[in-house]
Chain A
């Protein structure tokens, strides 16, 4: 079940918020929330629930062992055991196939590569659980003695399968003592609706353009402009899609008293690559910062060591996104630019508009690396963007794709900037001190989420007709 499905919005989610509102006792609230979360997780296959239960058990036990001893060595031992175990499990599910494929390519062994399905959300909840254990070890978080409460943290359906990666110390208080207030629920409603529309209308609309122009069957014949248009649509899609999930998670959290940190801060307005990574998937980059980069020595060390630290972090960031070389290249690609910004270039000397443009270009090529797991397709796409595939500069299909979607694409471009947020704030400020002004703003504020949810339902209904059904013949 994904957030952007009719079943989720009109059945699961509504049932969840109504029961959360009706149950008053915090313990019962949490039990209900846990049941909903496990149900949500089990929807993708009951078999993976056991993995989630097991991983949580390991970290719960490790947390307790660490907290209940005063001996530093022992604390360290349990921490190490836990991290190794958890990463082995993650590695087994996520990287066995990748590793064996490469081994096979080099040595011819093994003959058969086992198909290991990736349990949904494992990359996210593993990191959440790791952050808990490390924080307990460091004394930054209180130990959770009750297993099912830790399970609630790990499985909470708001963020379990697609982030943001929430730290235990940030939600511990909300798990035990959360309160809902009218203004927060109201903010949550808008945030949820905005996220839903962002995904159902904008991201899916961009995906339609990108998938049509960058389809693997026809990639080699896509025109030069078509390749660029497709990649720009993909660039818009990936941000709108991912940040929409975070919006919806944050919105749902607010509606029942959880406070999650922001995960995106308009990354496409960044004026340097360093700035981009401060704005993109913040919960992941701060995870790597706090649990890998700083423990390695961060930047308080020699230049060489610093570059090494950055290399490790960005190779890992790449790997985290998927078990394929293109993701690793993607991570290292950013490593190169980040090192260059740190040690080679003085970005401040470049005029701001040019800087913005350059950042967008660097990020765009990053997404080309990100999109194509098949390296030969990646070559085709890169070649195609520079006219090396001997295709026309543009053709009827590209021209029509642009003409047919021109207003939509302009709108999507505006939607990835803070323009909408600033306009809303302006409106809010203008109407602040005046009852009638406030009422006028209220009409907008009340109608907006309703319209967005309805428009999203329209868009999702159309998407429901699964092409697969059509191709069964």
Chain B
């Protein structure tokens, strides 16, 4: 009896061991097999808005020094077929790590002090030229602009392929979500002032003003980001962020007197109990952009249109850049945004040039406010003004006075542009991050803004970008090349 029980226990033990080993092997083999399905490996990540690592080019040198293999390592993990699902599960697991209602993502940045008005810009701009504080310190940079649409397109859409800019387009570099403070299911972008960056920005603006003096009026509109507008000064100080109003005042004080400064901070601050910034994305909403437009009209001396004069489109379920750079924070997933777009009355038709990714561009007829219901939930901000394409144009036939505006913008400009359509006959807008490369393809020879102003009889030049871009040395490089 005793021995039979012993034998049974022994057998059970063996069975458990065998089962464990087989289960373990099976899991590894299955996961390994999935890893071998080269055709199932994704090339881009819609959620992270970036190209995934490509399989490295084989070189003997790379094998010799190990760089080839280390890239294979990265490639294998970065394009592993189940990767996004695994990450999403991991984020859910990590939400159990602690109380995560409130958190700071990609923190660890330090703001420069905002100097007084009597400084030498050129000297300031040279200071720590090699450093780019807003980029170097752990902020997650996400290229905005659209990745390829993943949802199947409706029949009506098939004649016009979805623009594939952004992540597929090496010529459209990053704008950043930067440091995000998340509280009560809302993300807020925190701004860190950069002395050298802001000085460079002011100098770039001044050089445009100089170059188009007597030909066009330059407007400078810096879009504040959400923490400075939506949070109390006290909370903003605790996050270590800079005072955006103070930073903007300083920058405006350094700009040429011929530049009209569109300071939208106060009007946005007054309306900060409204839905003027997305909760899951670093952009302002169309409503936020509308208030900026009101302030622009005020500067220009025209009357802004009332919101009630526009027809609207709504796209619910938006999970934007904060969502992706927080590794799909469940707090944000619980609070998706709705993108509301106001359709311009002058015209909703536009043309745009979209990068093919190899230095060439294709022209598309498009809509200023486009129906993005079929787009991925991370792509809904693409509803505005064609997204981040290098060159765009709309002709408002309801006006025939020859008035022309050029908006030089990053993605903050996109939500702003539809409101301007009604006020000019010719509306041009370029993205400063890719305009130069577009010009190279189009053979215009000269990619300076002043050349554009002369060629197209532009009356108003509006420089419209978000405040973070004024501190990003790589983006400033782009501005400096065409702001002349």
Contacts and interface: CB of A to CB of B under 8 A. Distances in A.
A147 interface: no
Chain B, interface SS category: helix
A182 B91 contact: no
A162 interface: no
B169 to A, nearest CB: 12
Contacts of B141: 470-471, 473
For A1, A14, A17, A433, the residue with the greatest tally of chain B CB atoms inside 10 Å of its CB is A14
Interface string A160-194: 00000000000000000000001101100110010
Contacts of B50: 469-470
3 A-B pairs with least C-beta separation:
A45-B66, A464-B77, A442-B16
Nearest to A455: B93
Interface of B: 5, 8-9, 12-21, 23-25, 27-29, 31-32, 35-36, 48, 50, 53, 63-67, 69-70, 72-74, 76-78, 80, 82-83, 86-87, 89-91, 93-94, 96-100, 102-104, 107-110, 133, 135-138, 140-143, 173-174, 235, 238-240, 327, 474
B90 A458 contact: yes
Contacts, number: 214
A190 B109 CA distance: 41
Nearest to B6: A433
A269 interface: no
A9 B32 CA distance: 8
Contacts of A401: 104
Contacts of B21: 182, 185-186, 189
A10 B37 CA distance: 13
9 contacts: A11-B76, A43-B69, A48-B66, A190-B20, A217-B136, A408-B98, A446-B20, A463-B77, A473-B174
Max chain A C-beta neighbours (<10 A), residue from B31, B108, B141 = B108
Interface in A3-40: 5-7, 9-11, 13-14, 17-18
A407 interface: yes
Given A458-B86, A464-B80, A467-B138, 12 more contacts: A6-B35, A10-B32, A13-B28, A44-B66, A45-B66, A403-B102, A441-B16, A442-B19, A445-B20, A450-B23, A458-B90, A461-B80
B344 to A, nearest CB: 32
Contacts of B91: 462
A425 to B, nearest CB: 15
Contact of B16 (A48, A445, A467): A445
B99 A406 contact: yes
A80 interface: no
B97 A396 contact: no
- Interface-centre pick from B31, B72, B97, B142 (highest chain A CB count, 10 A): B97
A6 B12 contact: no
A460 B474 CA distance: 30
A154 B48 CA distance: 42
A53 interface: no
Contacts of A406: 97-99
A265 to B, nearest CB: 25
Contacts of A453: 24, 27-28
B103 A404 contact: yes
Contacts of B109: 217-218
A454 B72 contact: no
Nearest to B237: A396
Given A7-B76, A14-B25, A459-B90, A405 B16 contact: no
Interface string A419-446: 0000000000000010100110110011
Interface string A29-63: 00000000000001111111000000000000000
A90 B173 CA distance: 44
Nearest to B63: A46
A221 interface: yes
A457 B110 CA distance: 34
Contacts of A460: 77
Contacts of A43: 66, 69
A44 B72 CA distance: 11
Nearest to A442: B16
Nearest to B22: A446
A10 B33 CA distance: 8
A331 interface: no
Contacts of A441: 16
Nearest to B13: A438
A217 B31 CA distance: 39
Contact of A217 (B29, B90, B137, B474): B137
Contacts of B63: 42, 45-46
B17 A182 contact: yes
Contacts of A18: 25
Interface string A373-386: 00000000000000
A290 interface: no
Contact of A408 (B19, B69, B82, B97): B97
A217 B108 contact: yes
Given A186-B20, A449-B24, A466-B74, A458 B87 contact: yes
A468 B152 CA distance: 32
A439 B266 CA distance: 69
A218 B137 contact: yes
Contacts of A221: 110, 240
B49 to A, nearest CB: 10
A461 B98 contact: no
Nearest to A217: B137
A397 to B, nearest CB: 5
A465 B91 CA distance: 14
A434 B135 CA distance: 61
Contacts of B80: 6, 461, 464
Contacts of B76: 5-7, 11
A286 interface: no
A318 interface: no
Nearest to A219: B108
A462 B90 contact: yes
Contacts of B28: 9-10, 13-14, 453
Contacts of B97: 205, 404-408
Contact of A396 (B35, B70, B238): B238
Contacts of A470: 50, 140-142, 174
A395 interface: yes
B90 A397 contact: no
A43 B71 CA distance: 11
A259 B285 CA distance: 63
B93 to A, nearest CB: 7
A182 to B, nearest CB: 5
A442 B238 CA distance: 51
A413 interface: no
A57 B14 CA distance: 43
Contacts of A217: 108-110, 133, 136-138
Given A189-B24, A457-B31, A464 B98 contact: no
B27 A465 contact: no
A305 B66 CA distance: 46
A445 B65 CA distance: 42
Interface string A189-221: 110010000000000010000001001011001
Contacts of A14: 25, 28-29, 32
A464 B137 contact: no
Given A406-B99, A453-B27, A435 B83 contact: no
Contacts of B48: 465
A445 B91 CA distance: 26
Contacts of B19: 442, 446
Contacts of A45: 63-67, 69
B23 to A, nearest CB: 5
A400 interface: yes
Nearest to B474: A473
B20 A449 contact: yes
B24 A400 contact: no
Contacts of B138: 212, 215, 217, 467
A435 B12 contact: yes
Contacts of B173: 473
B436 to A, nearest CB: 15
